[in-house]
A and B are shown apart, each in its own frame.
Chain A
Amino acid sequence: MIKLINLTKDFKTTLAVNRLNLEVAAGEIYGFIGPNGAGKTTTIRMMGGIIEPTDGKILIGGIDMSRDPVGAKKIIGFVPDRPFLYEKLTGMEFLKFIADLYRVDLRVFSRRAPELLERFALWQWKDEIVEAYSHGMKQRLIIAAALLHDPRVMVIDEPMVGLDPEAVRMVRDILKGLARQNVTIFVSTHTLSLAEDLCDRIGVIHKGTLLAQGTVAELNLAAKTGEARLEEVFLTLVREL
């Protein structure tokens, strides 16, 4: 469902992503971990169609992001790492805006928007302008907006930042539920326990290069760390480079 081929991003001063190759199957949850500045967000922003790669290809559901960005974006639910929104719109108005952009059927919207707002505990805030929302509420609103058009692929950068423990559990359950419905999830995170618990496979990126990928057991094998927790595996792999 997601295919990255020789994906490269060169910012001239930094080679942020260097010939990245990976594939994620339908219904799989793929975790993307790495230290600060490893190239996680750059990769995710390229996958979301926000920045252009210097080289390489991104295929989402078989659609080439560079050839048909609109088509590819239609099937993606994108969640950035920082919840910047239109501050002067209310929560409900923001969802309507997104529904119009993604051309969500109006009957579907009128059913789905209240359902999502309820699920993300935002219903009572639906008519307040986003300016008044807390960081966590904005993050929840963005996730709700990303789910509005029933995406086939979710690309999520740091989903749990700013969320309270209850919301973390809620988001984790939602992501697992989506994967069961065959939605592909590509998630970048610093929370290694979350990656360990949530993801089917994990990729470790450092200095723009994919060091290793696989299940936690496969990563342990690559790092020669026995049956260690992901944190130990991660630190070993990163230190080696």
Chain B
Amino acid sequence: MQSTVWILLKPRLLSARNGLKPNEQNGNRSRLVLFSLIGVTFWAGAFAIFYRVLRYFQNVQDFGDILAMKLLSMMIITFFTLLLFSSIINSLSHMYLSRDLSLLHSMPVGVGDTFLSRWLGSTFDSSWMVVTFSLPIFLSYGLTYQAGLAFYPIALCAIVCLCLLASAASSLLVLLGAAVLPAGKIRTLFVILGVGLALLLVLVLRLIRPEQLVNPDSFASVVLYLNSMQALDWPWLPTTWITDAVRLALKREWGPSLFNLALAASCFFSLMFFTQTAAGVLYFRGFSRAQTTSKRLFTPVKFHGYSWETLLNFLSRPAKAFAVKEIRSFFRDSTQWPQLFLICALIVVYLYNFSVLPLDKSPMKTIYLQNVFSFLNVGLAAFVLSAIAARFVFPAVSMEGEAFWIIQSAPVSMKTFLWIKFFLYCIPLLILSEVLIIASNLLLGVTPFMMFLSIVTVFFLVPAIVGLSVGLGARYPNFKSENPALTATSFGGVLFMLLSFGLIALVIMLEAGPVYRIFMSRMHGHGFSLPQIIWFALSFGLALFLCVFAVFYPMMLGEKNLLKR
């Protein structure tokens, strides 16, 4: 007889299998090929980078090993933080918010089995990416240190243990949270966790101070340097056991390595025992309370009879209606919030890192470096923007969901609908990007020319990325998704990321040559020849054309597709 948990997992497994079946209409095969190619590229890239870094560390006298082990420890701590974050989000949606839960709870199945099946699904969803992309890292460690064959299964067990620990701890936290919070406020957990995790991320990144890896001479002595690097290696942390299991296996100290692994595994089993016991008592009660309609976190504030909507009065009526609807839906959906907080945290870290860049330690001229960084900063900010667009702008059309009939039957053309979406996202993202660029350039202390160039480049790149995102989001929408935000990882989402990265790279490459020439001539006081001026005009012109094309063409494709539906 099949176990109940297995039966409960079957719909998911069968759906996954059916989804992978070649289907001419959906182009599943081409999607599979594209995803596999991207996966292999990332995998190979991660391996190449880590292998190169570790080989470089090996050449650093005395410090090589310490640096490599510090990197390992940092990586595991970062993985654990990411795992905690994604496990909490996944546990909440798998255990309390999924649409199929009502059906599941109506079946003659014990709470323990239901919980375990949901926990397994949630653990898989939150961990597979970390496990997949940690493997090339462990492979590069194994090859650099010429580890024995047993290192690889131990490393795999260690990362799996890390995932299980994070998932068990997160589920326990979510179970307790759902039991303690008043009914209707359970979704608020997302908000609380979002703030907490954003703070944790900033804290962890600042505690491990990655810039120290490249700047050991800022410490008076080797002992001080080593001490500062022990910041997060507390012996009672599971991450320390996992790090030690991998570290000792690298050095072929199998006994102590397995001991650390056993320590982590036993911690997981005892945690899981508590989680499963707690689930028996709390899970159904929490689920049942979560069925209450969520209460709004904030009630709208009016000032002298005017609400925030008044600020949008400059828009046409349909545009304002869309803007108000979009803003309200976004802020009332607390599942969106953690990612918003996380982005804020990343921006803080991003800007902070510019302030601690050890430019003066470089053998190159500081002014030269400052401007090179400023130029790279444009690309980096655009990449960050692409990621934000993939998460928030690309799903914007799909977010209409099953209510898309309202737009289809409304007296507003599809073109207007798409352009309203475009401007709704373009304006705030443009402001965010310009603030980011200006602030980081001020921290770098760049020349006025670089400041001007960065501002102008971003001014054209942002609409291009938003246009690409809205257009492709309309070309590859999913109105039936339970969580439209996940369309960011669909075929269209990945295609958007690839095209967006390609566009940014092209624009940066087109500008790089002329910018270098202009910058050097300013430093040396030279003028420009006519061919050089023609070259500048062509390069900047082509970059501008690419940006304009990226706005209009995808929007046209998107409109065409929506009209065909």
Contact = CB atoms under 8 A, between A and B. Distances in A.
B410 A73 contact: yes
A128 B295 CA distance: 10
Contacts of B304: none
B412 A70 contact: yes
B413 A69 contact: yes
Interface stretch (B150-158, B320-328, B370-378, B381-389): B320-328
Interface stretch (A23-31, A89-97, A211-219): A89-97
Interface in B404-429: 405-406, 408-413
B411 A71 contact: yes
A103 B412 CA distance: 10
Contacts of A69: 413
A200 interface: no
B402 to A, nearest CB: 4
Nearest to B296: A129
Contacts of B320: 100
A30 to B, nearest CB: 19
A76 B412 contact: no
Interface of B is mostly: helix
A102 B410 contact: yes
Given A97-B321, A101-B321, A86 B329 contact: yes
B403 A70 contact: no
B177 interface: no
B327 to A, nearest CB: 10
B361 interface: no
Contact of A86 (B293, B318, B325, B409): B325
Contacts of B231: none
A39 interface: no
A50 B406 CA distance: 9
B405 A80 contact: yes
A108 interface: no
A96 B321 contact: yes
B293 A131 contact: yes
B17 interface: no
Contacts of B296: 129
Contact of A129 (B318, B332, B564): B332
A73 B401 contact: no
A102 to B, nearest CB: 6
Given A86-B403, A89-B329, A129-B293, A49 B321 contact: no
Interface of A: 48-52, 69-71, 73-74, 76, 78, 80, 82, 84-89, 93, 96-98, 100-103, 128-129, 131-132
Given A69-B413, A131-B294, 19 more contacts: A49-B409, A70-B411, A73-B410, A85-B403, A87-B329, A88-B328, A88-B329, A88-B332, A89-B329, A97-B321, A97-B325, A100-B317, A100-B321, A101-B410, A102-B410, A103-B318, A128-B293, A129-B296, A131-B293
Interface of B: 293-294, 296, 317-318, 320-321, 324-325, 328-329, 332-333, 401-403, 405-406, 408-413, 563-565
7 nearest A-B residue pairs (beta carbon): A100-B321, A84-B402, A132-B293, A88-B332, A78-B409, A50-B408, A73-B411
